[in-house]
């Protein structure tokens, strides 16, 4: 008799986008359970896209779980890290698709963190002008943010995520058990993307995070399930109203304008994305305070939470000129004018321009030599 399944779907969050709608399943033991994948598109061929770190942990297990859905399941393991989120690595996915005579019904499975998910989604959007893909995020950052909403991209030496497409997955499966193998630094980086949802949209979540940050750092399943579910609910609400970032969705980039400058300025991979975003949130909070939108008590409150999540809260001293140069390449910039996501009041965010002189003050206050 086969062993009883230990899989448990703790939450299901819908992304409502008309005929592009899809569910996010959040739970434990989901990766190995064939029933998990009933919502994946049927196809003769599938390609699991992962990286050299995640492949030895989970690729064979996912292949086994999918065996009843696809006749042939291939695996391509990309080099790991943000430094490899480029054209050269993207072509490894296309190579695997073409070498295995993949057709337009072939399903891609993005098994890994945000880099794998972004690149797999971009490959799916591009191959034969669009094939289906499924997100299987194995990092906290990917589960609460990058796997949801259909933003796909690769980096360019002059700017992060500047080449890509909006392309929705068919299914997102967040198996909380995969978070147990994350290094502590990667886990903390994911907490930055959880924390951001409080200041921009949900003060009760911020209250909860302050009370439960130690449980999250300890990776307690119940705390993780709540944090992932609420993060996905907020992102689903935003994406459902503004799929292509024409307005509201831009608030999800809180901390990202400064953060992307840190990543690009230091060289991709020196700081993890979530580390740069966490520090970028501190800088954006100080900008909000200098614009007269929030008090210093709120800035210090969120900064203290980021510190408890073991995230950097002081930026590298790239120099104000370099920060400004990099931020003018940000996707929100218009005609060279930098736009920042600021907190206009606790629990609410807006996109605003700010005088360069004020931004220079923030950089001088928040940064030190790396």
Q: Which residues are catalytic?
A: 129, 151, 193, 235, 245, 249, 253, 256, 260, 273
Which 3-state string (H, E, C) describes the chain? CCCCCCCEEEEEEEECCHHHCEEEEEEECCCCCHHHHHHCCCCCEEEEEEECCCHHHHHHHHHHHHCCCCCEEEEEEECCCHHHCCHHHHHHHHHHHHHCCCCCCCEEEEEECHHHHHHHHHHHHHHHHCCCEEEEECCHHHHHHHCCCCEEEEEECCEEEEEEEECCCCCEEEEHHHHHHCCHHHHHHHHHHHHCHHHHHCHHHHHHHHHHHHHHHCCCHHHHHHHHHHHHHHHHHHHHHCCCCCCHHHHHHCCHHHHHHHHHHHCCCCCCHHHHHHHHHHHHHHHHHHCCCCCHHHHHHHHHHHHHCCCCCCEECCCHHHHHHHHCCCCCCECCECEEEEEEECCEEEEEECCHHHHHHHHHHHEECC
């Amino acid at each position: 008799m086969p062993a009883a399944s230990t899989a448990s779907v703790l939450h299901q969050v819908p992304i409502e986008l008309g005929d592009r709608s899809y569910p996010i399943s959040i739970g434990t033991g989901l990766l190995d359970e064939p029933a998990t994948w009933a919502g994946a598109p049927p196809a003769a061929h599938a390609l699991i896209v992962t990286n050299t770190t995640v492949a030895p942990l989970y690729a064979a297990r996912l292949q086994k779980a999918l065996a009843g859905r696809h006749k042939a399941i291939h695996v391509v393991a990309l080099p790991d890290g943000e430094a490899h989120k480029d054209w050269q690595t993207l072509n490894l996915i296309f190579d695997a698709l073409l070498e295995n005579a993949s057709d337009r019904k072939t399903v891609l499975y993005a098994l890994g963190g945000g880099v794998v998910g972004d690149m797999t989604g971009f490959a799916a959007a591009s191959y034969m002008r669009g094939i289906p893909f499924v997100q299987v995020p194995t990092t906290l950052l990917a589960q609460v943010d990058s796997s949801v909403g259909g933003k796909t991209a690769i980096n360019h030496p002059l700017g992060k995520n500047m080449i890509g497409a909006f392309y929705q997955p068919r299914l997102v499966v967040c198996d909380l058990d995969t978070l147990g193998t994350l290094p502590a630094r990667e886990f903390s980086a994911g907490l930055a993307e959880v924390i951001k949802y409080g200041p921009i949209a949900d003060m009760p979540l911020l209250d909860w995070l302050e009370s439960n940050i130690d449980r999250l750092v300890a990776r307690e399943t119940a705390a993780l399930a709540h944090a992932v579910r609420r993060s996905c609910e907020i992102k689903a609400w935003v994406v459902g109203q503004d799929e292509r970032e024409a307005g509201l969705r831009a608030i999800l980039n809180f901390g990202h304008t400064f953060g992307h400058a840190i990543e690009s300025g230091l060289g991709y991979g020196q700081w993890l994305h979530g580390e740069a975003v966490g520090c970028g949130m501190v800088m954006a909070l100080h900008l909000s305070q200098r614009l007269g939108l929030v008090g210093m008590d709120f800035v210090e409150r969120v900064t203290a939470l980021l510190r408890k999540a073991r995230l950097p809260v002081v930026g590298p001293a790239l120099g104000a000129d370099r920060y400004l140069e990099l931020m003018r390449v940000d996707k929100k910039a218009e005609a060279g004018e930098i736009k920042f996501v600021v907190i206009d009041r606790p629990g609410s965010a807006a996109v605003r321009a700010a005088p360069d002189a004020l931004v220079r003050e923030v950089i001088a206050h928040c940064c030190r030599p790396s």
